Amino acid sequence: MLVEAADRPESVLWDDWHVVAEITTLEQFGRMTSTLFERELLITREDKAVHVAYADGSGRIASTLKYGYVWASLGAGDRELVDFPEAAETDRHVLTVGSLGIRTSGLRLVENFIDVAHFPFVHTGYLGAEPDTEVQPYTIRVSADEVWVESGSCTQPMASAAAPGAAQIGYVFRVLRPYTVVLYKTNTHAPTRQDLLLLMVQPVSQERCIAHVLALVLNFEDARDIRSFQRLITGQDKPILENQRPSRLPLDPRSELPVRADAAGTAYRRWLVERGVSYGAIPPIRAVAFVG
């Protein structure tokens, strides 16, 4: 496949690793197709090896396996994959909890994931409840590598499948890549430790994506319960995300007036602009000086 440079997303995305399939799904069928940045890919498993190639036969693509997923890079594949030392802890599940197609930009998913203000309205009875809707102040640190957001702890009626009742839950989000974010969330049975939820968004096109969620959760809970709880939560977000207009994330700070305190989303948008991300976004309008 001949791909013109102008037709490609920016290198920060093109050259990175992206999840393109769950290994269990691939094992079930032996071969499957998947789409990344509007390119159709063919994924095959022969013996233990996994191969990813352009579906039109025009060449192989760098691929690797980690955390139950097939990852692919349309570039050289020489970047580092995200890595979590917690995955090696023996009292933790490492679980793929579902891959859900959503008709919107993947950047909208990441912004929604780091926004705790929607919990009482969208995840009522689970991650929040009215009238307890006040958002505690965020602490935000931004570097070239990540956006780090700590929200004040909030009361959650049912923070996880095994939560014994309402609990005060602290949240730390780390946006590690434009389409990858991890949440560290207080475990209700071991309040000094945290469960991790990793959201990896597969950009199918600028206005379609697949949300892949990995849980690194302490094993107080049954794997099936963790899966069904997280699928319920992601399913609640899907219609909200699909109804947002425009589908692409506006990056001009003047284009969407904030209706509530969304400091985390604002920091994420600024970080995307600084990283030069435009795929899935409406880039800011540059000031133009007219002469004469």
User: What residue ranges bind Fe ion (CB under 5 A)?
Assistant: 237
117 or 167, CB closer to Fe ion?
117
The residues with which 168 forms a beta bridge, in sequence order, are 155
| Shortest Å, Cβ 75 to Fe ion | 31
**C-alpha span between 192 and 215 (Å, rounded):** 18
111 or 221, CB closer to Fe ion?
111
- Give 260: exposed, middle or buried? Use CB within 10 Å, 0-12, 13-18, 19+: exposed
Q: Which residues touch 32 (CB under 8 Å, ≥6 apart)?
A: 21, 25, 26, 42, 43
Angle between the N-to-C axes of helices 263-275 and 106-113, in degrees from 0 to 180, rounded to the nearest 10: 140
Nearest alpha carbon to residue 258 among 248, 246, 266:
266
Q: Which residues touch 255 (CB under 8 Å, ≥6 apart)?
A: 282, 284
**C-alpha span between 20 and 128 (Å, rounded):** 32
| Shortest Å, Cβ 196 to Fe ion | 17
| Shortest Å, Cβ 166 to Fe ion | 18
195 or 237, CB closer to Fe ion?
237
| Shortest Å, Cβ 232 to Fe ion | 11
41 or 127, CB closer to Fe ion?
127
What residue number has its CB nearest to Fe ion? Answer: 237
52 or 213, CB closer to Fe ion?
213
Q: Which residues touch 113 (CB under 8 Å, ≥6 apart)?
A: 173, 181, 183, 199
**C-alpha span between 194 and 135 (Å, rounded):** 21
| Shortest Å, Cβ 233 to Fe ion | 6
| Shortest Å, Cβ 223 to Fe ion | 22
211 or 272, CB closer to Fe ion?
211
